[in-house]
Amino acid sequence: MTDQTAQKKAGELTREEVAEYLKTNPDFFVDQDELLRSLTLPHDSGRAISLVERQVHLFREQRDTLRRELVELVSIARHNDRLFEKSKRLLMQVIEARNLMDMAATIDDSIRGDFGLDAASVILFTEADVPGRSQGALHVVRPAEAQERLGNLLEGSRAVCGQFRESEREFLFPDRDVPIASVALVPLRHDELVGVFAIGSCEPGYFDQSMGSLFLSYISDTLSRLLPPMVHRHTTAAPVASLATESR
């Protein structure tokens, strides 16, 4: 269809057909300056504006939207960069820990100090007799007890966030004067389930299912590989220490 034919049949065309024609002929208004100036559109202010003004207005809105999205993306990137640095610092200290108690103390100090959260808990599942079964952020329990108290929270390997039941929160963070209200928990798995790593906040809505858990999983993956050999060293070193004490 030519421009002349379109103008001749304009009265017979529907709005949809006109819109479709303009979509397939985006250069229709080239060299149609007078026509562009004569076209008017309603504006939020109540006055009529030209099509050119409307396009400029739309371009400005798109520019402002893109600018806001860019600012948000930069803010998220900076936040993630800070999280990465804190996570890296924590993991370097965990790797350098000499024993389970040092590791638990490092995690507790980092989560509460560096990350600004209210509590951290590393709960190991083992039948072995581990010296210092509960110190600071470290707690050692029998696998059957953990299964009874945490149930389906131990399924899978991804982090679970939410408010949890009161009994679950008390099990994860025992002996607290100020109770934990919301929790992020991730099972520690390396071939098999070896424990859980949990962080808590006294703010009820701080952790929810919509939160990202990349850095929590990053930390837990490292703990899952470091804890089993460290527990083994503790359980094999304890009898030797006892024998040395008895021989004196």
Would you say residue 70 has pLDDT above 90?
Answer: yes
Regarding whether 88 and 103 lie in a shared domain, the answer is no
In this prediction, residue 202 carries a pLDDT of 92
Q: Is residue 50 assigned to a domain?
A: yes
Binned at pLDDT 50, 70 and 90, residue 243 comes out as very low
In this prediction, residue 61 carries a pLDDT of 87
- Given a cut of 50, whether residue 246 has pLDDT beyond it is no
pLDDT, greater one: 242 or 102: 102
Are 143 and 54 part of one and the same domain?
A: no
Sheet holding 119-125, edge to edge: 134-135, 138-141, 119-125, 192-201, 182-190, 160-162
User: pLDDT grade, residue 244 (50/70/90)?
Assistant: very low
pLDDT mean over 2-14: 60
pLDDT confidence band for 245 (50 / 70 / 90): very low
What is the pLDDT, as a whole number, of residue 240? Answer: 40
Same domain, 91 and 111: no
Same domain, 108 and 187: yes
Structure tokens at 161: 């966030």
Nearest residue to 204 (alpha-carbon basis) of 166, 230, 172? 166
**Do 125 and 200 reside in the same domain of the chain?**
yes
Question: Is residue 49 in some structural domain?
Answer: yes
Do 85 and 168 lie in one domain? The reply is: no
In terms of domains, do 181 and 119 share one?
yes
pLDDT in tens, 134-152: 677 888 888 888 888 888 8
242 assigned to some structural domain: no
| Enclosing domain of residue 53 | 36-96
| % of the chain beyond a pLDDT of 70 | 77
- pLDDT at 71 > cutoff 60: yes
Q: Say yes or no: 88 and 109 in one domain.
A: no
pLDDT single digits (tens) 149-195 = 888 888 877 888 888 889 999 999 987 888 899 999 989 887 788 88
Same structural domain for residues 110 and 188? yes
pLDDT exceeds 60 at position 2: no
Specify if 234 maps to a domain: no
Whether residue 238 is predicted with pLDDT greater than 60 in this model: the reply is no
Is 28 within the bounds of a domain? Answer: no
Residue written as token pair 């001749």? 8
Shortest CA distance to 200 belongs to which of 122, 113, 119, 129? 119
Instruction: Give how many domains the chain has, as a whole number.
Output: 2
**More confident site: 165 or 212:** 165
Whether 16 is in a domain gets the answer no
* 108 assigned to some structural domain: yes
Asked if residue 162 and residue 60 are part of one domain, the reply reads no
Dihedral-angle region of residue 106 (phi above 0 means left; psi in -120 to 50 means alpha; beta otherwise): alpha
Distance, CA of 162 to CA of 175 (rounded, Å)? 21
Confidence at 201, pLDDT banded by 50, 70, 90: very high
**41 pairs with which residues across the strands?**
49
Assess whether pLDDT exceeds 60 at residue 108.
yes
pLDDT cut 90: percent of the chain above it: 11
In a domain, 166, yes or no: yes
Token digits of residue 11: 């009265």
Using pLDDT thresholds of 50, 70 and 90, give the confidence band for residue 26.
Answer: confident
